[in-house]
Amino acid sequence: MSTIKLKNLKPGMVLADDVRDLKGRVLLARGETIDAKHLKILKAWGIAEVTVKGTGPQVAEAPDTHHADAKLLKKTEAELTELFRYADVQDPMMRELYNQCLDRKLKLNEADS
Amino acid sequence: MAETPKGLVDATPGIASLPVIFYQVNEAVNDPETSFGEIASIVNGDAALCARLLKIVNSSFYGFPSTIETITHAITIIGTAQLRDLMLATTVMTKFKGIRSNLVNMDSFWRHSIACGLAARIIATLRQESNADRFYVMGLLHDVGRLILFMAIPDRMESLLTRCLSGENLLHLLERDMLGFDHSEVGEALLKTWNLPPRLTEAVGNHHNPGDFSKQPVENVIIHTADIIANAMQLGSSGGGAVPPIAPGAWEEIGLPTSKLSDILNQVAAQFTDAIQMFVEES
């Protein structure tokens, strides 16, 4: 099983765990197969991520950098490494922050070049 | 003679207190007998302040559908405590003048502070904390201690900045090496001098505390984290400019999934331009 962001959740995926709101109420139960209506419900309740059964390429997540120019990506990564030099990017929160900032900065640098 | 945070604050001229009107409003807000109309009439005594507050409540920071034209109306919608907090935010930013521009670009300093305030407010909203605006003020004020350091010991701060930019260490750690404390404690001393509430002064005083956040109020850990996010987004800088490390367990204490970070960053970016216009245009 793996935890994925809501935007990557597709109809047909199966929930590996209950989805709860901030107060702990169950919105959708474990084992439910996702359909379009469920996606709408989860979105309306502000759910950020869910745990689904199975792993593999369809649920794998990586920063969205595949389309970037290799040279620009390298330059941006160097800037980010410098910025994060005192932080532990192995920490899951810092890793995500790094990835998000890389994505943002890449877009800025692309707009500049 | 060893320097203390309090000693540096006392030695800095022109910052001993906030404008009288802030304390008048604060007293009125804390008194349950005071009506909205009475609070509004105090605020209305300062036309420039009025205009600034109305601009803020009508901006995307709140996003109300209809125009709010009077302070009384603003209070009924956002609340008295929130109005007081916004007043604090706008008044503090006009307090610091005459800092050498080779030490800090004030514009950049407030941009960093505003980004931190926005991130703190957004995290607080996601956690459904009451009065999320007070987190904005905490974030906005988290680095004011550094302004005191720039005013009180400019030459030594200049040499620390040079060492920081040459890659020696984070600026707050260099401050700690030299003085035995850093700007967070100086900020705390300043806010205490101004008689601001303990939750606020503590959150400012602990934003670089690497200690155990599970035993501290949630305000402290939110400001600590919001500062990291603001630095990572590179929206302005208060000196130094690298991302400080996150204290172990801090993010877990906040209790949001890491996938919420992209939402937080997007919201900070979306509110940033408006917030800059509201809070810094006249300084």
* Token digits of residue B101: 């521009």
Reply yes or no on whether the pLDDT at A54 is more than 90: no
Q: How far is residue B219's CA from residue B224's CA, in Å, rounded to a whole number?
A: 9
What is the 8-class DSSP label of residue A51?
E
Reply yes or no on whether the pLDDT at A51 is more than 80: yes
B157 falls within a domain: yes
Residues B131 and B224 in one domain: yes
Task: Provide, as residue numbers in chain A, all residues whose Cβ is less than 8 Å from the Cβ of B263.
Answer: 48
Segment A15-33 shows an average pLDDT of: 86
* pLDDT tens figures, B83-94: 999 899 888 887
Q: How far is residue B250's CA from residue B224's CA, in Å, rounded to a whole number?
A: 8
Q: Which of B94, B109, B144 is the last residue of a domain?
A: B94
B14 falls within a domain: no
Residue A91's φ and ψ, nearest 5 degrees, are -65, 130
Residues B154 and B168 in one domain: yes
Contact call for B232 and A83, based on CB within 8 A: yes
**A12: contact with B, CB 8 A cutoff:** no
- Beta pairing partners, A49: A5
Q: Least CA distance to A22: which residue of chain B?
A: B127
Share of chain A above pLDDT 70, in %: 88
C-beta of residue B184 within 8 angstroms of C-beta of residue B205: yes
What is the DSSP secondary-structure string of B147-195?
A: HHHHHHSHHHHHHHHHHHHTTSS-HHHHHHHHHSS-HHHHHHHHHHHTT
Residues B73 and B121 in one domain: no
Residues B88 and B118 in one domain: no
Total number of domains in chain B: 2
* pLDDT tens figures, B236-281: 998 878 999 999 989 999 999 998 999 999 999 988 988 888 777 6
**A112: contact with B, CB 8 A cutoff:** no
> B131 or B39: whose pLDDT is higher?
B39
Query: Structural domain of residue B84, as residue ranges?
Result: 19-94
Closest CA to B230 of B246, B243, B247: B243
Q: How far is residue B96's CA from residue B126's CA, in Å, rounded to a whole number?
A: 32
Reply yes or no on whether the pLDDT at A60 is more than 70: no
Residues B249 and B123 in one domain: yes
Residues B172 and B267 in one domain: yes
CB proximity list for B195: less than 8 A, separation 6 or greater: B23
- What pLDDT is stored for residue B169 in this prediction? 93
Distance from CA of A45 to the nearest CA of B (A): 12
Reply yes or no on whether the pLDDT at B2 is more than 80: no
Cross-chain CB nearest to A49 (options B233, B257, B269): B257
B58 falls within a domain: yes
Q: Which of B36, B61, B94 is the last residue of a domain?
A: B94
Q: How far is residue B266's CA from residue B272's CA, in Å, rounded to a whole number?
A: 10
Q: How far is residue B182's CA from residue B153's CA, in Å, rounded to a whole number?
A: 13
Degrees (nearest 5) of the Cα angle A53, A57, A63? 110
Cross-chain CB nearest to A92 (options B170, B233, B258): B258
Contact call for B261 and A98, based on CB within 8 A: no
Q: Which of B94, B113, B147 is the last residue of a domain?
A: B94
Cross-chain CB nearest to A93 (options B167, B258, B265): B258
Q: How far is residue B254's CA from residue B127's CA, in Å, rounded to a whole number?
A: 8
The whole-model pTM stands at: 0.83
Residues B86 and B128 in one domain: no
Residues B212 and B147 in one domain: yes
- What pLDDT is stored for residue B115 in this prediction? 96
CB proximity list for A46: less than 8 A, separation 6 or greater: A21
C-beta of residue A52 within 8 angstroms of C-beta of residue A15: yes
Q: Least CA distance to A84: which residue of chain B?
A: B243
- What pLDDT is stored for residue A66 in this prediction? 60
Share of chain B above pLDDT 70, in %: 99
Reply yes or no on whether the pLDDT at A90 is more than 70: yes
Residues B104 and B76 in one domain: no
Q: How far is residue B268's CA from residue B230's CA, in Å, rounded to a whole number?
A: 9
Residues B220-224: contacts with CB within 8 Å, 24+ apart?
B221/B247, B221/B250, B221/B253, B221/B254, B222/B120, B222/B123, B222/B124, B222/B127, B222/B135, B222/B138, B222/B254, B223/B116, B223/B120, B223/B135, B223/B138, B223/B139, B223/B142, B224/B250
Q: Mutation test of the interface with chain B: which of A2, A100, A103, choosing the one with the most B Cβ atoms within 10 A?
A: A100
**ipTM rounded to 2 decimals:** 0.87
Residues B64 and B124 in one domain: no
SS3 A28: strand
